[in-house]
Chains A and B, each alone.
Chain A
Amino acid sequence: MPAEVNVILATDCGSTTTKAIMIEQVDGVYRQTWRGEAPTTVEEPFADVTVGVMNALTEIQEVSGRRLIDDDGSIIRPATADQGCDIYISTSSAGGGLQMMVAGVVREMTGASAKRAALGAGAIVMDTIASNDKRRPHEQIQRIRELRPDMVLISGGTDGGDTKKVTEIAELIAPAKPRPRFGKAYELPIIFAGNVKAQPEMNRVFGDDGFDLKITDNLRPSLEQENLGPARDMIHDVFLEHVMAHAPGYDKLMSITDAPIMPTPGAVGDILQTIARGRGINAVGVDIGGATTDVFSVFDGTFNRTVSANLGMSYSISNVCAEATMPTILRWVHIDMDERELRNRVKNKMIRPTTIPQTLDALVFEQAVAREALRLAYKQHKEFATTLKGVQQQRTVGDTFSQQSGGETIVDNMKLDLLVASGGVLSHAPRMHQTAMLLIDAFEPEGITELAKDSIFMMPHLGVLSSVHERAAMEVFERDCLVYLGTCVAAKGVGKPGKNCFSWSLDGGARGSGDLAFGEVELVELGPDETAELEVKPARGFDLGAGSGKVVKRTIRGGTVGVILDARGRSLALPEDRAACREAVSNVIDRIGLYPAGDQAGVVQESGSAN
Chain B
Amino acid sequence: MAKAYTPGLKVTSLTDHQVDRILPIAGEVKVAEGDHVEADTVVAETFMDGDITPLNVANLLGAQPGDVPSMMLKGEGDPVEKDEVIARNKGIFGMFKNECRSPATGTVQTVSATTGQIMIAGPPIPVQVKAYMPGRVTAVLPAEGVVVENRVALIQGIFGVGGETSGPIRIAVSSHDEELGAAAITEDMSGAIIIGGARVTAAAIERAREVGASAVVSGGIDDSDLKRILGYDLGVAITGSERLGVTVVVTEGFGEIGMARRTFELLSARAGREASVNGATQIRAGVMRPEILIPFVEGDALDGETNQTESGVLELGTPIRVIRDPYFGEIGTVASLPEAPQVLGSGSKSRVLEVTLESGDTVTVPRANVELIET
Contacts and interface: CB of A to CB of B under 8 A. Distances in A.
Report if A and B associate in a common complex.
yes
Which of B7, B121, B371 has most chain A Cβ within 10 Å?
B7
Contact of A347 (B5, B116, B254, B323): B254
B183 interface: no
B65, B281, B341, B348 interface centre (most CB from chain A within 10 Å)? B348
Given A43-B287, A358-B324, A358-B369, A604 B224 contact: no
A601 B344 CA distance: 9
Interface residues on A, range: 35 or more
A350 B52 contact: no
B366 A351 contact: no
Contact of A351 (B26, B119, B158): B158
B24 A310 contact: no
B67 interface: no
Contacts of B32: none
A365 to B, nearest CB: 10
B234 A352 contact: no
Contacts of B121: 175
A321 B234 CA distance: 10
B134 to A, nearest CB: 22
A171 B117 contact: yes
Interface string B104-123: 00000110101111010100
Nearest to A601: B343
Contacts of A601: 343
A97 B236 contact: yes
Nearest to B1: A62
A164 B109 CA distance: 19
Interface in A324-356: 340-341, 343-356
Contacts of A319: 235-236
A348 B347 contact: no
B324 A315 contact: no
A408 B298 CA distance: 72
Interface stretch (A68-76, A136-144, A415-423, A509-517): A136-144
Of the listed residues B22, B326, B347, B368, the one surrounded by the most CB atoms of chain A closer than 10 A to its CB is B347
Contacts of A96: 284-285
B286 A246 contact: yes
Contact of A348 (B254, B311, B349): B254
Contacts of B346: 356-360, 362-363, 430, 600, 607
A348 B287 contact: no
B90 to A, nearest CB: 22
A501 interface: no
A27 interface: no
A604 B223 contact: no
Nearest to A602: B347
Contacts of B289: 44
A172 interface: yes
A318 B254 CA distance: 12
Given A318-B236, A319-B235, A600-B347, A341 B366 contact: no
Given A177-B49, A322-B233, A358-B365, A430 B54 contact: no
Interface string A262-279: 000000000000000000
B336 to A, nearest CB: 17
Interface in A510-559: none
B253 to A, nearest CB: 5
A306 interface: no
Nearest to B121: A175
Nearest to B284: A96
B229 interface: no
Given A45-B311, A341-B255, A344-B255, A360 B369 contact: no
B54 A172 contact: yes
A344 B222 contact: yes
A201 B113 CA distance: 11
A39 B347 contact: no
Nearest to A175: B52
A142 B49 CA distance: 12
B326 A358 contact: yes
Interface string A591-604: 00001000011101
Main secondary structure of the interface of B (DSSP, over half): loop
B369 A347 contact: no
A206 B24 CA distance: 20
A203 to B, nearest CB: 12
A483 to B, nearest CB: 16
Nearest to A55: B5
A64 B226 CA distance: 47
A302 interface: no
B25 interface: yes
A363 B347 contact: yes
Contact of A352 (B115, B253, B284): B253
Contacts of A137: 53-54
Contacts of B222: 340, 343-344
Contact of A171 (B1, B7, B54, B286): B54
B252 to A, nearest CB: 9
A348 B253 contact: yes
Interface in A15-31: 15
Interface in A151-181: 163-164, 167-168, 171-172, 175-177, 179
Contacts of A315: 236-237, 283-284
A288 interface: no
Given A348-B323, A607-B350, A138 B287 contact: no
A161 to B, nearest CB: 14
A347 B159 CA distance: 10
A354 B371 CA distance: 10
B318 interface: no
B287 A164 contact: no
Contacts of A604: 343, 347-349
A358 B52 contact: no
B175 interface: no
A316 B346 CA distance: 22
A38 interface: yes
B24 A184 contact: yes
In the A-B complex, the 5 residue pairs with the closest CB atoms: A430-B347, A96-B284, A607-B348, A319-B235, A363-B346
13 contacts: A42-B286, A164-B65, A167-B114, A171-B54, A175-B52, A341-B255, A347-B226, A348-B324, A348-B328, A349-B324, A355-B323, A362-B346, A607-B350
Interface of B: 1, 5-7, 10, 22-26, 49, 51-54, 56, 65, 109-110, 112, 114-117, 119, 121, 158-159, 222-224, 226, 233-237, 253-255, 281, 283-287, 289, 311-312, 323-326, 328, 341, 343-350, 365-366, 368-369, 371
Interface of A: 15, 38-39, 42-47, 55, 62, 94-97, 137-138, 141-142, 163-164, 167-168, 171-172, 175-177, 179, 182-184, 201, 246-248, 291, 310, 315-316, 318-319, 321-323, 340-341, 343-360, 362-363, 428, 430-431, 595, 600-602, 604-609
Given A344-B223, A358-B366, 11 more contacts: A96-B284, A137-B54, A141-B52, A246-B286, A315-B237, A316-B235, A318-B233, A318-B234, A345-B325, A355-B323, A607-B341
